[in-house]
Structure formats: C-alpha cells, structure tokens
Structure 1
C-alpha cells in the first residue's frame, strides 16, 4: 500500500485538477467566441487572457498611473487606471527578465497565487472543519462558477491569498506578522475596508467581553470553541486594525498626491457607476431593473434574509471568530459600496472561507454542489467572459 502523500501535495493536486478543468472550459469556450474588442474570433490562450479588465493591468505595467485624470466635457472623471490596484502589475514586472509578454507572465503570477491560496485556506480552516471537509471545500471553491477568473490577469488570486494568509496569521495571534500581508492585500484588491471592518469587529467583540459588556457565555454561544484574547493580544489586534486602516487609506492618498485631486480615487471608482456615490440605494435600483420596481425591494429583502441565514448558520460560526467576522464584514461591504451587476458573482469569491462550512455537508450535497459549480462555469465563461449572448454580462 502506497503511503498517503503529504497534505500540501494533496491540496495542490486537487487544486491542479480543478484549475485544469477551468482551463479546459476556457479553451473550449474560446473556440466558439466571435470577434471581440480584445481579439478576433477563436482567440488563442494569450489573446484570451487580454479580455475585460486584464487590459487595465497591462496598461498600468506599460504606462503607470495618470497624473491627470481624464474628464468629459462636463468635468466628470472618466474611467481610468486608478481604480486598479498596483500589486499585480508590479509583481508581473519583476518577471520581465524572462522575455515573455505581460499577459502570460501575469497569468503565471495569478496561478501561483491561486495555488498558494488553496494551501493557506486548507492550513487555516482544516483544523476547524476537518481534513476531508477541507479538501471538499478546496474543490468547491476552485470549481465554482467564477473559478476561471483565478487564472487570468485579474487581482482576485492575489487578493484571496493575501487576505486569507493575513487572517490566518491573525487568528494564530501573530498580529505583527499579519500586518504586511494585510497591507499588501489592500494593494492587490480593494479589500482594505472589509479587512479593517473584520479585524475591528473582532477587536470590538473581544473588548466588549473583557469589559463585561458582553458576557463570555454569549460570545461562546455565538462562536463555539472561541478562545478569548488576553489583554496583550487585544493590544496587538488593535495595532493590526490601525495598520489595516492605514493601508486602506494609502491608495486614495497616493492618487491624491499624484493627481492633485483629493477625491481622485473615489471619483474614479464612481466613474463605473455613472458618478453615483456609494450607498445601499443601487441595490434597490438594480433590483428594479431585474424584477420590476414593485418587486425590487422584495428581492433586496430576500437577498438580505439569505445572507443573514448563511452568516448565522452554525457551520459558519463554528469556523471561528476570524472567518466569521470576515464574512460578515465583506457582506456588509458589498451591500454598502457595491453597485450590483453581474460582477457580483466574481466578487463573492472572497467569501471562500464559508465553503469550509459547506464542506462538512453530506457527500451527496457536496457532489451536487461540485457538479453545479462546474456547470455554472460553462455559463459564466460563455455568457460573461466570452460575451456569446447579446446581453452584456460583466465579469
């Protein structure tokens, strides 16, 4: 009987199988793709990597960020590179010695980050969920409908790796070690706000328990198996919260210093929503376009109720304070700051820790979800990434 491979090898083998399946779906979908703004019909692998926002990262690597924001005739800021974080083009630039082009090199960076994220998530959550459940969770995340985006030049892979690595270290009470990872995460994807919120929520819970505002028994019921922080650890967590907040502010400040406009970053972000400021109302407006004005608010209430049920589920809460706080904070972030479009499916990927609760479900349920995820990839790649339907779906 052959010895069982090391745990990391098992995780990477599973990751490779799922990633290869996504690549196969991408390549088969490319064969049916007509001419697009990025390539001619049936794009090659290298051409297929250029689609959608990947071009913004390539432009940043080639030209940097604009010192003058583009505006229309009315002075309204238009879409520009400041909306995209610098870590992916920066890391890709470190590989230019190889002589390869930006897109293949960026794909290599994203694939490496994707593999690292699978390993980190397993190391982080397997002790809570169990070894078998953790492997199922890896399969579910990397076979989910938008999993293909983890291997193209987008910031999702880097963001997932750095967020999970930072939270994993924080959960192990290694707050200073987590600080650079949290800072880098804020430069990989715009996740600084929910990261700060998650860590801040955890600190508030610990501080309230220490001061007697929240009984320890109540916290134990909310988060089974939670180990309360000592005073010194709470101070370390507060340092991490402040560091995360500083890292979150760093990019808007950089945009301000370079362009001379204090609102350079926020004005750029709102350019993708026709200049509207972020609030909860876009969810109502978008829901009205999907199901009609009179049913839109019911759809929003349904989404809120579904989110509350998921976040309050015993399986999610039993993962521990850090994963639970992250999922709560990230959901609130999407509700407040995101204008819901078809991109919402991709933007749900950072909720990957919740899959470790699903990984403990019955085998039939897990297998059904796995198949549903792969089938969902067929539609996402065809309808969204390849634009093979008349309706414009944004990845």
Structure 2
C-alpha cells in the first residue's frame, strides 16, 4: 500500500503536468490546440498501436520512391494493442483503453520492482526509488498509450522470479516481454551473461575474490538453479527472434522487421555506427567523439557503482545487457531519454547512494524539473516541429 501511495502521488503529479502542458499546446497533426486528455493520448507513436487494431500488420511492406521500406506497424509489438482490445466492451476509444492498460501496468511495475529490489537497500530506500523513477523526466510515457509500462512490469516479474531461484516460473513473463517491446534481445543477453557468471563461479574458473568484488555478498546458485537460468535465457532468446521471424513469414521478406525499424533512421542497420554519426550531428564531427567518450564513461560509472552491484546479479546483468544493447543497436535521438526507463534498478541504486532525505529531495526536484522540460519541449511542442521526438 505504501508503494502504491507513492506511485499514485508521482503519477498524479505527472498527470497534472500533462494536463497543464496541454493547455499551451498549439494545433498538431493529432489534435487541435489545447487538446483534451483523450486527444493528448493520441500523440506520437500511440497512433501506430491503434493502426494495429484497425489495419493489422501489412502483408506487403510499403516502399518509398527510393526503394527503401517506409514506416509501418511491424515496428510495434502486439501486446499493448491486444490487451486494449480486451476492453472494447467499455465503448471507450482505443486511446483511452490503451492508456488504462498502461496505467495499470505502471502500478504493477512499481509493486514488482519494490518486491524485487527492496530486500537489500531496505523499504525506505525503495519508496524513495519509486518516487524517483515515477517522477523521472520521461515518466509521462508510463501513463500514455505506449508499451513502456508493460515492458517494465514484465521484465521486473521475470528478473524478480529468477533472482529468487524460480527461473522456470519466469519464462511466461520473459516471453510476454518480448511481445510487448523490443527488449527480448537485451533480456536474453542479460540472462545469458548471468548464467555464464554463475557457471564460472561454481567451477572456480576465476578467483572467487574477483567475483566477490564484482557482486559482493552474492554466492553462486545451485546446479538446479543454473539449469533453470539457462532454460530461461535460451527461451528468452528464442522468443526475441520470434517477432522478426513472424514478420518474415507474413511478408516474405527476411529483413522485414529490421528494415521497418531502421526506416525511422533512414539508414541500414549498422551496429555501433549510429552513435558516431548521430552524436556528430548533435555537436559536430570533432566533438562527437568527445561526447561518445563521455557517454561511455557514464556507462562505466553506472555499472561500477557499488550501490547498483549491491542489488544483486539480476539487476546488474540486466543493466549491463540493456546498456550494451542500446550502444550496439540504438540510433541516439532524443528518444534515448525514454528508452532509459527500463534501467529502473538504477533508481534504487541512486536512492541508496543519496543517503540523506535532503539529497533525495534534491534528486526528486531535479526529476520533476526534467519532466516539465520533457513534457513541454518534447511531448507537446516537439509535435509541432517534429524536432524533438519522445
């Protein structure tokens, strides 16, 4: 109940920020000036989830004059739209139904993340972490028709169960996560790296002191636990490949999914390269390398933080796998802020290292200021010029 109270307070504040920002929003491709709540829920990618319901997935990929695949619904996983369709009996619009699914999943994610991560830093720290994550700059994405909430609750359930030695029970949630958002690859990678770590610990391939420094206080799992973890990792990797395979079978084009995903960036899939080119677009070719170095240092500092490593192998390997995934495949646009939401365990690490109530309040205030900027400049005014994208 305490977690839900904190979640409700943070989510209500985000709702108020969205409504106040809407009053200053001019006419956009999705609605008139000062849109109502229902119109505000139509912004940006929400419309793609609605098109899944109305049009389905195309059997023939749309192609532009240059011969490249253009934007289409294959880039969006079906789970959010499917769950929203279960509420058709209400008579509400798709956007209202999808927003309700997102809000319920957001509440579930707060509870799950607390149950998973609170035992080590303590309940007080966990409540602060919920406040920080659900007040973060992109927290609005957790209550609009986006699949971020679904992805967060499903990944949290899978990793929570796996961390308790119940990896087989986590399989349905990991598979569902692969059909909620494109997070199956980093989740499978994280689980695979965790399994390799457990095997190395058990067989003494490296000095035990080295592993204790990496994840202090966390011993190896039992042989049964390791086998379950391997099954979970392999199943997740298979499920991560299922959606591209479905797109291939439905369209007859082997690269249907990746060609659709990269249609937003206007270039072929090239691991790691977008970070060099896009950061150069932001600050210039010469400073782009310097900015990339700063990003890599920030990643290293996060992964080496004692407060994150103290959360256990499930949290640490998830953050490692997800960050590697972003660095390998993500095109670093302004969407990077929203795509950092799955790194929610970092909020628990941040709340723990802050130490005092004064510092945590300062962090919370910073989060809310960031949210004001993100909602106004990205979600609202970004929709006019399509310069900043959420």
- TM interval, short-chain normalised: over 0.9
| Counterpart check, 1:346 vs 2:362 | no
* Equivalent runs, 1:1-395 vs 2, <5 Å: 9-360=1-352, 361=354, 362-387=356-381, 392-395=387-390
Stretch of structure 1 that moved more, 41-50 or 73-82: 73-82
Moved more, 212-221 or 227-236: 212-221
- The range that moved more, 180-189 or 67-76, is 67-76
Number of aligned positions between the proteins: 387
Segment drifting more, 82-91 vs 351-360: 351-360
Tell me if structure 2 keeps the 8 A contact 1:26–1:148. Answer: yes
Aligned-pair CA distance for 1:358: 1.1
Q: 1:139-177 CA distances to partner (integer Å, 9 max, x unpaired)? A: 000000000110000010000000011100010111111
1:144, 1:20 → 2: CA distance?
13
Superposed structure 1 runs of 4+ greater than 2 Å apart: 388-391
CA deviations on 1:313-345 (whole Å, 9 max, x unpaired) are: 110100000100000110110000000000000
SS in 1 for 2:344: helix
Distance, in Å, in 1 between the alignment partners of 2:238 and 2:271 is 23
Structure 1 window deviating more from structure 2 (290-299 vs 189-198): it is 290-299
Corresponding residue for 1:6? Answer: none
1:390 positional shift: 5.1
Give the gaps of 5 or more residues in structure 1: 1-8
Name the CA distance, whole Å, in 2 between partners of 1:198 and 1:220.
19
Change (3 A) 1:391 1:88: closer
Distance 2:129 2:99 in 1: 23
Tell me, yes or no, if the aligned pair for 1:76 and 1:275 is still in contact at 8 Å: no
User: Which residues of structure 2 form unaligned runs of 5+?
Assistant: none
CA contact (8 A) 1:278 1:339 kept: no
Contact 1:92–1:106 (8 Å) recurs in 2 = yes
TM-score by length of 2: 0.97
Q: Deviations over 1:106-135 (max 9, x none)?
A: 010000000000000000000011110000
Tell whether the 8 Å contact from 1:270 to 1:276 is kept in structure 2 after alignment. yes
1:52 is paired with a residue whose SS is coil
Aligned mates of 2:157, 2:371 — CA distance in 1: 26
Cα distance in 1 for residues equivalent to 2:219 and 2:56: 46
Structure 2 CA distance for aligned equivalents of residues 214 and 188 of structure 1: 37
Per-residue Cα deviation, 1:342-390 (whole angstroms, up to 9, x for no partner)? 0000000000011111112222221111001111111101100002675
**C-alpha displacement of 1:185:** 0.4
1:15–1:115 CA contact under 8 A, matched in 2: yes
Distance 1:276 1:246 in 2: 24
How far did residue 217 of structure 1 move? 2.4
Contact 1:183 1:244 in 2 (8 A): yes
RMSD (Å) for aligned C-alpha atoms? 1.1
Q: Sort the Cα spacing of 1:386 and 1:97 in 2 relative to 1 into closer, same or farther, 3 A.
A: same
Output the CA distance in 1 between the equivalents of 2:278 and 2:238.
32
CA distance in 1, matches of 2:25, 2:10: 23
In structure 1, what is the Cα distance between the partners aligned to 2:342 and 2:138?
12
